[in-house]
Amino acid sequence: MTYDEQSSRREFLHQLALLFCGLSASGGLSVLSQLQALAADKSQPLKPNVKLLPWTGDDFTFGHRLRNSEVPKFPTASERNIDFVIVGGGMAALTTAHHLRNHDYLLLEQYAQTGGNARGANSRGLWYSYGSQYLTEVDGDIGELLSDLQLKPVKIGREKNAWWDGAHWLKGVDGTNNALYKDFKRLQSELGPLWKKMGNATMYVSDLTPELQKLDKVILSSMLTGYSAPFLDLMEGFLKSSMCAGVNGLSALSGVSVLEDLVIPSYLLEGGNPAITRAIAESIKKTTPQRIVTNAFVWSVNLKDDGASVVYQEKNGALHRVNCKHVIFAIPPMIAARVVSNFKVADKAQLYSFKYGSYLVGNFILNKKVFNSSFDNWLPSKYSFPDITIANTVYDLNGHYKKEMGQVLTIYQPYAPGSEGRSLLLEGDHDKFSIQLRKQLVSLLAKEFDAALETVQLTRWGHAMAITGPDYFKRMKKVLAGQSNSYSFAHSSYHGLPAAESAMMGGRIAANRALKLKAKKALLFGPMPAITSTITS
Predicted confidence band at 10 (pLDDT cuts at 50, 70, 90)?
Answer: very low
Q: What average pLDDT does the segment 59-74 reach?
A: 87
Give the model confidence (pLDDT) of 194-244 as tens digits. Answer: 998 887 667 788 878 888 889 999 999 999 999 999 999 999 999 999 999
Predicted confidence band at 537 (pLDDT cuts at 50, 70, 90)?
Answer: very low
Q: Are 318 and 300 in contact (CB under 8 A)?
A: no
Percent share of the chain, pLDDT over 70: 89
Above 90 in pLDDT, residue 283?
yes
CATH class of segment(s) 9-59+356-466: alpha beta
Predicted confidence band at 62 (pLDDT cuts at 50, 70, 90)?
Answer: confident
pLDDT of residue 522: 76
Other CB atoms within a 10 A radius of the CB of residue 199 amount to 11
Above 50 in pLDDT, residue 32?
no
Give the model confidence (pLDDT) of 329-355 as tens digits. Answer: 999 999 999 999 899 888 888 898 889
The one-letter code for the residue type at 164 is: W
CATH topology of domain 76-118+275-354+469-525: FAD/NAD(P)-binding domain (3.50.50)
pLDDT of residue 63: 83
CA distances to 73, 183, 221 from 225, rounded to whole Å, are 56, 11, 7
Half-sphere exposure of 175 (CA within 13 A, CB side): 13
Other CB atoms within a 10 A radius of the CB of residue 28 amount to 21
Beta-ladder partners of 390: 409
The one-letter code for the residue type at 167 is: A
Predicted confidence band at 269 (pLDDT cuts at 50, 70, 90)?
Answer: very high
Q: Which of 35-39, 102-106, 204-208, 453-457 has the lowest mean pLDDT?
A: 35-39
Q: Are 245 and 416 in contact (CB under 8 A)?
A: yes
Distance separating alpha carbons of residues 198 and 450, to the nearest angstrom: 44
Q: What average pLDDT does the segment 157-181 reach?
A: 93
Q: Are 116 and 301 in contact (CB under 8 A)?
A: no
pLDDT of residue 42: 56
Above 80 in pLDDT, residue 527?
no
Give the model confidence (pLDDT) of 353-391 as tens digits. Answer: 889 999 999 999 999 999 999 999 999 999 999 999 999
pTM equals 0.89
305 or 523, which is more confident? 305
Reply yes or no on domain 167-264 having CATH 1.10.405. yes
Q: Which of 21-35, 129-143, 419-433 has the lowest mean pLDDT?
A: 21-35
Distance separating alpha carbons of residues 494 and 46, to the nearest angstrom: 44
> What is the residue extent of each domain of the chain?
9-59+356-466, 76-118+275-354+469-525, 167-264
Above 80 in pLDDT, residue 29?
no
Supply the mean pLDDT for the chain: 88
Q: Are 236 and 246 in contact (CB under 8 A)?
A: yes
Q: What average pLDDT does the segment 506-510 reach?
A: 96
